[in-house]
Amino acid sequence: MILRKLAIVALGAAALTSCKEGGDSMEGADLTTNWDSLSYSIGISVGNGLKGQQLRDVSPKVIAQGINDVLDSTALIDGEEANAIIGAFMDKKRNEKSAVAASVSEGFLEENAKNPDVVTTGSGLQYIAIKEGTGDKPSSTDKVKVHYHGTLVNGNVFDSSVDRGEPVEFPVNGVIPGWVEGLQLMSVGSKYKFFIPSELAYGERGAGQMIGPGETLIFEVELLGITKGE
């Protein structure tokens, strides 16, 4: 992942140097050729990526210098050290984000546990039984059919079969631990709301762009059916 990001940044820096040909300033770049347009478009893409990762303080000029120094074999640090620097920075940012999320999640779960409708299991999973069904309960070896709606504690939706209008099927033991435990509490026809601590979800690694490290996840889950395992 780090190497891929490096390659993207490198292309962006190449775009910057391309726009600078013929002068020291990047202002008023002329997009007179297809290569100019391609270079500038790569720069736009990289710039958007850096903004999205909140890396506004990086220096485009220094990035361009790094590219030029590599091409001239005059780089101040080698590739291995560069990767280590980037890796250390990304780890630091991830740890900082995780610490903030963990603090928010801890406060949320502590307050949520005071709700008389909330049940907290030994693992730390919290749930509310919105509706109790009358069907069978799945085992860990079964496959289930569910509708679900997933949000973060701030209310942001990160995934929802309800919004897509199509339920999903999967093995009970093929999902995050909070789901594995929670599904086996439900009878077919039930609808529960799960509050899943990070350690029962995606932990310190997070998942995709929406779920950061240390995030507590909230799901409304309706158990529609069970396919019995062997």
* Active-site position among 142, 202, 211, 226: 202
Q: What angle do CA 32, 36, 39 make, to 5 degrees?
A: 165
Domain with CATH 3.10.50.40 in the chain: 100-227
Residue 149, token pair as written in the block? 């709606």
- Residue 108 among the catalytic residues: no
User: Could you confirm whether 176 is annotated as catalytic?
Assistant: yes
**In this structure, what are the phi and psi dihedrals at residue 126, rounded to the nearest 5 degrees?**
-115, 145
| pTM tops 0.85 | no
pLDDT per residue as tens digits for the range 62-119: 887 887 888 889 989 998 999 999 889 888 888 888 788 888 889 999 999 999 999 9
Phi, psi of 45 (to 5 degrees): -60, -45
116-148 tens-digit pLDDT: 999 999 999 999 999 999 999 999 999 999 999
Residue 69 annotated as catalytic? no
Instruction: Mark whether 195 is an active-site residue.
Output: no
Q: What is the CATH code of the structural domain delimited by 100-227?
A: 3.10.50.40
159 has catalytic annotation: yes
Query: Is residue 158 flagged as an active site residue?
Result: yes
Which of 127, 148, 192, 194 is flagged as catalytic?
148
Q: Which residues contact 184 (CB under 8 A, 6 or more apart)?
A: 137, 138, 139, 140, 172
* Catalytic choice (159, 195, 196, 218): 159
